[in-house]
Chains A and B, each alone.
Chain A
Amino acid sequence: MAAAARFTVVGGGLAGLMTTIKLAEAGHHVDVLSIVPVKRSHSVCAQGGINGAVNTKGEGDHPDIHVKDTLRGGDFLAEQTSVKGMCYAAPGIIYMLDRMGVTFNRTSEGLLDFRRFGGTLHHRTAFAGATTGQQLLYALDEQVRRYESEGKVTKYEFWEWLGTVKDESGRCIGSVAVDLRTMEIRTFPAEAVCLATGGPGIVFGRSTNSIINTGTAAGRAYLEGAIYANGEFIQVHPTSIPGEDKLRLMSESVRGEGGRVWVPRKKGDTRSPRDIPESERFYFLEEKYPKYKNLVPRDVATREIFTVCREMGLGIGGKDGVYLDVTHIPAATLDAKIKGVMEIYEKFVGDDPRHTPMIIFPGMHYSMGGLYVNFEADPRTLTPVDGSPKNQSTNIPGLYAAGEADYAFHGGNRLGANSLLSCIYSGMIGGPAMAAYAKNNATSAEAKSDRYFNDAKKYWDDRFATLKKMAGSENPYQISKELGELMTENCTVVRYNDRLKKTVEKIREMKVRWKSCNVLDTGNLANRSLSFTNQLWNMLELGEVIATSALMRDESRGAHYKPEFSLPEPKSKDPREDPQWMELWKKRHEKWAKTTIAKHSEEGPKISYEDISTPVLEPEPRWYA
Chain B
Amino acid sequence: MDTAQAGATSKTVTFRIWRQDGPGGEGHYDEFRVPYGKGSNVVSCLMEIQRNPVTVQGQKVAPVVWDAACLEEVCGSCAININGRVRMACSALIDKLEQPITLEPMKKFPVVRDLTVDRQRMFESLKRVKGWIPVDGTHNLGPGPRQSPKDQATMYVLSTCISCGSCLEACPQVTLDNTFVGAAPISQARLFNMHPTGKLNAEERTRSLMGPGGIQDCGKAQNCVKVCPKEIPLVTSIAVMNREVSKLVIKDIFFQEEESKHTAGPG
Q: Which residues of A contact B (CB under 8 A)?
A: 21-22, 25, 36-37, 39-42, 44-45, 92, 95-96, 98-101, 103-112, 128-129, 131, 134-135, 138-139, 142-143, 145-146, 148-149, 181, 210-212, 243-246, 248-249, 336, 340, 344, 347-349, 428, 475, 477-478, 481, 520-529
With A45-B72, A210-B69, A245-B44 known as contacts, the answer to whether A99 contacts B52 (CB < 8 A) is no
The chain B residue sitting closest to A36, CB to CB, is: B69
Q: Is the CB of A520 within 8 A of B53?
A: yes
3 closest residue pairs by CB, A with B: A110-B146, A142-B132, A98-B144
- Whether A107 contacts B149 by the Cβ 8 Å rule is yes
Closest to A519 in B: B62
Least Cβ–Cβ distance between B79 and chain A, in angstroms: 11
- 16 further interface pairs, Cβ-Cβ under 8 Å (given A98-B144, A111-B143): A37-B123, A37-B163, A99-B144, A103-B156, A106-B147, A128-B156, A145-B131, A146-B130, A243-B44, A244-B38, A248-B72, A477-B63, A521-B63, A525-B21, A529-B62, A529-B63
Q: Which residues of A contact B141 (CB under 8 A)?
A: 95-96, 99
Within 8 A of A (CB), among B133-150: 133-135, 137-138, 140-144, 146-149
* Interface check B222, CB cutoff 8 A: no
B22, B38, B62: the one within 8 Å of A520 (CB): B62
Q: Cβ of B70 and Cβ of A523 under 8 Å apart?
A: no
Residues of B close to A111: CB separation below 8 A = 143, 146
| Contact yes or no, A244 B39, CB < 8 A | yes
Q: Is the beta-carbon distance between B138 and A103 smaller than 8 angstroms?
A: no
Give chain B residues whose Cβ lies under 8 Å from the Cβ of A181. Answer: 112-113, 118
Contacting residues of chain B (50-106) with chain A, CB-CB under 8 angstroms: 50-53, 62-63, 65, 67-77, 90-91, 93
The answer on a CB contact under 8 Å between B65 and A528 is yes
Contacts of A529 in B (CB 8 A): 50, 62-63
Q: Contacts A39-B76, A44-B74, A103-B159 given: A142-B69 contact, CB under 8 Å?
A: no
Complex contact B198–A101 (CB within 8 A): yes
Q: Is the CB of A25 within 8 A of B138?
A: yes
- Contact indicator B192/A211 (Cβ below 8 Å): no
C-alpha gap A41/B162 in the complex (Å): 11
Contact A42 B131 (CB under 8 A): no
- A–B complex contacts, Cβ < 8 Å, 9 sampled: A25-B138, A39-B162, A101-B144, A106-B152, A142-B131, A146-B130, A181-B112, A244-B44, A245-B44
CB distance from B8 to the nearest CB of A (A): 13
Across-interface contacts of A110 in B (CB, < 8 A): 146-149
Q: Which of A41, A45, A101, A106 has the most CB of B within 10 A?
A: A101
Q: Which residues of A contact B206 (CB under 8 A)?
A: none
Q: What CA separation (Å) do A149 and B131 show in the bound complex? A: 11
Instruction: Judge if B153 is at the interface, Cβ distance under 8 Å.
Output: yes
Closest Cβ–Cβ distance, residue A619 to chain B (whole Å): 31
| B68-A99 in contact (CB<8A) | no
Given contacts A111-B146, A138-B159, contact A336 B140 (CB under 8 A): no
Cα A138 to Cα B163 in complex, Å, equals 11
B197 at the interface (CB under 8 A from A): yes
The chain A residue with its CB closest to the CB of B126 is A145
* Residues B6-50 near A (CB distance < 8 A): 21-23, 37-41, 43-44, 47, 50
A242 to chain B: closest residue by CB? B39
- Report B-chain residues with C-beta under 8 Å of the C-beta of A112: 143
Per-position 1/0 for B101-130, Cβ under 8 A of A: 000000000001110101100010011001
- B24–chain A nearest beta-carbon distance, Å: 11
Q: Are A344 and B192 in contact, CB atoms less than 8 angstroms apart?
A: no
Q: Give the complex CA separation of A145 and B94 in angstroms.
A: 37
A95 close to B144 (CB less than 8 A): yes
- Point out the residue from A45, A99, A526 that lies within 8 Å of B135, measured CB to CB: A99
Complex contacts, B114 vs chain A, CB 8 Å: 526
The yes or no answer to B155 lying at the interface (CB within 8 A) is: yes
Q: Determine whether the beta carbon of B133 is less than 8 Å from that of A244.
A: no
From B75, B76, B91, B118, residue with most partner A Cβ within 10 Å: B75
A45, B51: Cα distance in complex, Å: 26
In the bound complex, how far is the Cα of B155 from the Cα of A356, in angstroms?
29
Residue in B62, B132, B138, B142 whose beta carbon sits within 8 Å of that of A522 in the complex: B62
Does B160 belong to the interface (CB within 8 Å)?
yes
A244 to B123, CA, bound (A): 32
Most buried by A among B41, B67, B69, B93: B69
Is the Cβ of A525 less than 8 Å from the Cβ of B113? yes
Contact B123 A39 (CB under 8 A): yes
CB pair B152 A25 closer than 8 Å:
no
A507 to B116, CA, bound (A): 33
Q: Which of B23, B44, B74 has the most CB of A within 10 A?
A: B74
Chain A residue nearest to B60 (CB atoms) is A520
Q: B156: which A residues are within 8 A, CB to CB?
A: 103, 105, 128-129, 135
Indicate the member of B126, B138, B195, B198 with the most A CB atoms within 10 Å. B138
**Chain A residue at minimum C-beta to C-beta distance from B150:** A106
Whether the Cβ atoms of B47 and A40 lie closer than 8 Å is no
Q: Which residue of A lies closest to B66 (CB)?
A: A528
Closest residue to A427 on the B side, CB-wise?
B138
How far apart are B57's CB and chain A's nearest CB, in angstroms?
Answer: 18
Q: Which residues of B lie under 8 Å from residue A143 when comparing CB positions? A: 132, 135
Q: Judging by beta carbons under 8 Å apart, are A42 and B69 in contact?
A: yes
Per the bound structure, the CA–CA distance linking A146 and B67 in Å amounts to: 26
Chain B residue with Cβ nearest A38: B123
Asked whether, in the complex, the Cβ of B116 is within 8 Å of the Cβ of A98, the reply is no
